[in-house]
Structure 1
Amino acid sequence: MDALVIGAGPAGLMAAEALAAAGRRVVVVDAKPSPARKFLMAGKSGLNITHAGPDFMAAFPDWLAPMLDSFGPDAVQDWCRALGQEVFTGSSERVFPVAMKASPLLRAWLHRLGNAGVELRMLWRWQGFDAGGFAFDTPEGREVLRPAVTVLALGGASWARLGSDAAWVPWLAEKGVQIAPFQPANMGFLVDWSPHMAKHFGQPVKGAALCLSTGLRERGEFIVSSKGLEGGGIYAVSRALREGASLNLDLLPDLTVEAVAARLNKARRGDTIAARLRKLGLSPVVAALVQEWGRPLPDELAPLLKALPVPLLGPRPLDEAISTAGGITRDAVTEGLALRGVPAEFGPIFACGEMLDWEAPTGGYLLTACLATGLWAGRAAATST
């Protein structure tokens, strides 16, 4: 071994592949019993590998542009095909493997890495720096490794049970690495429901527009859960909500308020609010939300359906978020993603993936950036010594 990768998620495995391709002897260590556990979890309901939309780059901070230019959506798709996994692009411009699962892609990738000489050591948990090297708790006891070059791919601070627990933060901070505090990203939001909403938990809200006080308007489906609201539509606006924007729902986004009022005026005089909502074609869960948050009089119903205020109590906890904002800041790394200021006795150290301070939406963006930064860091690390 002369190259060490700590973390066997997509970013770490991509860094290992780049190092091996450059002729380095690579060992990948991970605290969990098997690699890429968050990657596999993300693929359980259909692996969204990348996004083919024209505004892909707009989702990222500018400093990631060289990495995403080098390994963007087209390159990700070619990479999948080279591993024997054909892909297709859905109507939303999200790209999926035909198999729709992460496991076939991961198996093929691990096989290729093994053929390239990459060694995986599982249940090796990094415990910080010690005696000029990297200390680990392993099944055989404590080990200290002193590689020529190291790539860190330890993830952010969400889904600790899958490996991203941010335990590394104090070890890098004490070496002078600047780290922005972690915040939840692509997360659900808490709502204090009345007991009447319990029968609607797990139901999707479809066709609504999410309208923020910032002017942002997003069409997307979301789920009413026992804890609040979650799902793709909410995740798409979660950053603005986390930063303090308020949320209204336009429940009939294809109609003007006058058109909604005209339809409501056709109701019979004795119709209840529930009956009026049903005649508009609104689903039971949507009608329940109107009753939960609006309690309207009939003549107030049309404007309420076009701007239903949503009383959010704040984001779900950090560990429940799909991803995180925060991490190693841009100023703390070089153009090649090497950490600045770490003592030379540990050799060059690079970082990639969700350890870095960038934020992106779901829909293939996150995974592509993890792969791209892993490849970039691996290539830079391969030529560093």
Structure 2
Amino acid sequence: MAAERLAEAGVSVRAFERMPSVGRKFLLAGRGGLNLTHSEPTDRLLARYGEAAGRLAAPIGAFPAEALRDWCAGLGVETFVGSSGRIFPKSLKASPLLRAWLARLGGLGVRIETRRRWTGFTDDGRLLFETPSGPEAVGADVVVLALGGASWPRLGGDGGWVSPLAEAGVSVKPLKPANCGFFTRWSSVFAQRFAGAPLKRAALSFEGETVRGEAVVTADGIEGGLIYALAAALRDAIERDGEAVASLDLRPDLDIDALAERLSRPRGKRSFSTHLSKTASLPPVAVALLREAGTHPPGPVEISRRIKALPLRLTAPKPVERAISTAGGVEFAELDEGFMLRRRPGVFLAGEMLDWEAPTGGYLLQACFATGRAAGDAAARWLAARAAA
């Protein structure tokens, strides 16, 4: 996005890509339908970015969801609003958008050079690259770094930029997993039987916030949209307290009284697990989760309370390389309003390198698009001001 804006401003642009081809993480996002952004009002959308909302207000305000949809349409890619309010390409694929975008960049004269890994600056301010033929130093009048976070490192972004920037005196908050799964201590019997089992129609509560969705049990923990939605708070609590105990509601569509009435029905010759499954409509994994929590309470009301508020004890987030996105990054105090490094005039930053995070739902790509656009525009203005001086 930064390259496009700079090229449209008449700047000669070279884009350096670490991998043999561009957009690998973008294409991975397309496997889930390519959730580009969200249709909710901009003020609500901005609130999803938490403490970073103030710094992201200007770039997202200048390039909100509707503008992103118009941009896609300009590339011949139609979008639609799903039932959840999320916005997708009608094809539910990333490749048509990426192909059209690369064709546009080519038409604007943008040169893309692959297998170029940025490793830092030379003493005279040039960019250092590791290439198949050895180290290379490249001079530039203006630079935009958009090197990603550290999740899915096999796709290119591995956080290797942290050390070179730190050596240049830039303050970088540690990169942490965001939108990630968590470890927990299942019994061996539960882990062996239910690893991979989906937990549908559930709700999760933590620190006063409740979300609904689905999760998947893993051999060593739990992951999925239900968990990702509260991942930041859960991760921070584990850092602070050593663990996080969330409350899992296995039947959010029924209240305690309704559940208790069902569980009060005669059990007959059925086992207690079968009785729970039949009367409370709980799948086997949910019944097993109740068993993991300990001995069943003595009465229908007490059992219903446990179904509605099952303690889920989480011990650690899954590693950053297994996360969907990354928290942490270059602190906004290091940047001016145009995302230029105060310590290195002419070097701008964009995307997941910056210290922000957001839940899934289109917010990740929206901020990457918007900050890339803002950095590209600011870089073009900076060049123009220097030329006019």
Secondary structure of the residue that 1:68 maps to in structure 2?
Answer: helix
Cα distance in 2 between the residues matched to 1:366 and 1:141? 34
Structure 1 length normalisation: TM-score?
0.92
> Counterpart in 1 of 2:151?
158
Instruction: State the number of aligned residues.
Output: 367
TM-fit CA distance, 1:131: 4.1
Cα distance in 2 between the residues matched to 1:81 and 1:318? 34
Superposed CA deviations along residues 56-89 of structure 1, whole A, max 9, x for unmatched, are 1211221110100011111111111111111111
Cα distance in 2 between the residues matched to 1:57 and 1:311? 30
> Counterpart in 1 of 2:7?
20
- One-letter amino acid matched to 1:190: F
- One-letter amino acid matched to 2:164: W
TM-fit CA distance, 1:269: 5.4
The answer to whether the Cα contact below 8 Å between 1:48 and 1:94 also exists between their aligned partners in 2 is yes
Superposed CA deviations along residues 271-326 of structure 1, whole A, max 9, x for unmatched, are 43211221121112211211222431441311110110112121001111111111
Cα distance in 2 between the residues matched to 1:246 and 1:320? 22
Instruction: Map residues 81-120 of structure 1 onto 2, 5 A cutoff.
Output: 81-120=73-112
Residue 208 (structure 1) aligned to one of 202, 211, 216:
202
Decide which moves more: 26-35 or 218-227: 218-227
Instruction: Map residues 1-385 of structure 1 onto 2, 5 A cutoff.
Output: 14-54=1-41, 55-60=44-49, 61-132=53-124, 133-197=126-190, 198-212=192-206, 214-244=207-237, 245-268=244-267, 270-279=269-278, 280-299=280-299, 300-342=302-344, 348-385=346-383
- One-letter amino acid matched to 1:201: A
Secondary structure of the residue that 2:32 maps to in structure 1?
Answer: coil
Cα distance in 2 between the residues matched to 1:221 and 1:239? 17
Identical-residue share of aligned pairs (%) = 50
TM-fit CA distance, 1:217: 0.7
Superposed CA deviations along residues 121-152 of structure 1, whole A, max 9, x for unmatched, are 00011121124211112233321101000000
Structure 2: tracts of 5 or more residues without a match: 238-243, 384-389
Structure 2 length normalisation: TM-score?
0.91
- One-letter amino acid matched to 2:204: L
Cα distance in 1 between the residues matched to 2:262 and 2:25? 48
Cα distance in 2 between the residues matched to 1:153 and 1:273? 56
Cα distance in 2 between the residues matched to 1:358 and 1:111? 30
- One-letter amino acid matched to 1:19: L
Cα distance in 2 between the residues matched to 1:256 and 1:115? 60
TM-fit CA distance, 1:258: 1.8
- One-letter amino acid matched to 1:210: L
Q: 1:204 to 1:101 in 2, by over 3 A?
A: same
The answer to whether the Cα contact below 8 Å between 1:177 and 1:340 also exists between their aligned partners in 2 is no
TM-fit CA distance, 1:335: 0.2
CA RMSD of aligned residues (A): 1.4
Cα distance in 2 between the residues matched to 1:226 and 1:101? 31
TM-fit CA distance, 1:215: 1.0
Structure 1: tracts of 5 or more residues without a match: 1-13
